[in-house]
Amino acid sequence: MKFQEIDLFGNSTDPQTRRIVLKRIEARFKTEIIREDAPDWVSKRFTEARQVFEMFQDLRLEAKEHFITLHLDGKNRIVCFDRVSVGSLNQSIVVPRDLFKTACMVSAAALILMHNHPTGDPSPSREDLDITKRIKECGDLLGIRVLDHIIIGDSYLSFAERGLI
């Protein structure tokens, strides 16, 4: 199953658009709007990796590697879903600058990193460990917590549960 990308107001987004923004920020005050037909994960509070895996397990069916960030508010509710990169069978390019640009734009308090391994094996590669470390260091500098990095395959691997983050 592919993720259908629609904006908050029910309009189809351009295929080049890679995020669903769940908050609209206006000049003088913040307005939050949640549609009745919004995806299941809108406003859901995430407290453990299993919840993320159950919500996004269809990502394991993708033939290419997708790197996604979930931008969370102070109560760990998703405010933005950002597909940072779509790569090849076994890698995707992730640039922390691009990842944090979106996080700053939506005033994210925290991030959950997530990507799939099309092979089904959720074991982290050396590159997975390195990019997670770099993103966490960037988040520490910006004051945006990186709560977890979850690799989705036939099962899932949580960096937080394994003490890798």
Which strands form 110-116's sheet, in the order they lie side by side?
A: 19-21, 78-86, 66-72, 110-116, 145-152, 156-158
CATH (domain of 78): 3.40.140.10
Q: Which domain holds residue 102?
A: 19-31+40-162
In a domain, 10, yes or no: no
Q: Per the structure block, which two tokens stand in for 76?
A: 């760990």
- Cα gap 75→89, rounded to integer Å: 35
As for how many domains the chain has, the answer is 1
In a domain, 60, yes or no: yes
* Structure confidence at residue 27 as a pLDDT band (50, 70, 90): very low
Q: When comparing pLDDT for 42 and 141, which is higher?
A: 141
pTM: 0.73
Q: Per the structure block, which two tokens stand in for 79?
A: 């405010």
In a domain, 66, yes or no: yes
Q: Per the structure block, which two tokens stand in for 1?
A: 């199953």
Structure confidence by residue, pLDDT tens digits, 85-123: 887 767 788 889 988 998 998 899 999 999 999 989 999
- Cα gap 83→99, rounded to integer Å: 9
